[in-house]
Amino acid sequence: MLNKTVTDVNILVIFYNEEGVPIATNWHTVKEPIPGGLAVRVKGTVDGSIQELTSRRISNFSEQYERKPYTKLEFRILDFRIVE
């Protein structure tokens, strides 16, 4: 755990299919300061086809998918800046 405030955090989110193969990525940058030892939530969007490949249908009779993916997601912190 990093106990220093950071900013300009670059995050890569990787979406996997049921077989564990990467199928899409999404890039986020958090500009605001994040105090040491804490986390923030980020929002993002992906194409609807990614949701179909990573989420279950709400029911057998529905075309809607759960918001929560059931396949693997990976979050990679690629870069950040320590605030002095």
In angstroms, the CA 67 to CA 71 distance is 12
Q: At 14, phi and psi to the nearest 5?
A: -115, 130
Instruction: Please give the pLDDT value at position 21.
Output: 94
pLDDT, one tens digit for every residue, the chain (84 residues): 889 999 999 999 999 988 999 999 999 999 999 999 999 988 888 888 887 788 877 777 777 777 778 889 999 999 999 998
Quick one: pLDDT at residue 6? 97
- Residue 54 φ/ψ, nearest 5 degrees: -115, -5
Q: Which two tokens stand for residue 62?
A: 């529905």
8-11: list long-range contacts, CB under 8 Å, 24+ apart.
Answer: 8/79, 8/80, 8/81, 9/34, 9/77, 9/79, 9/80, 10/77, 10/78, 10/79, 10/80, 11/42, 11/75, 11/76, 11/77, 11/78
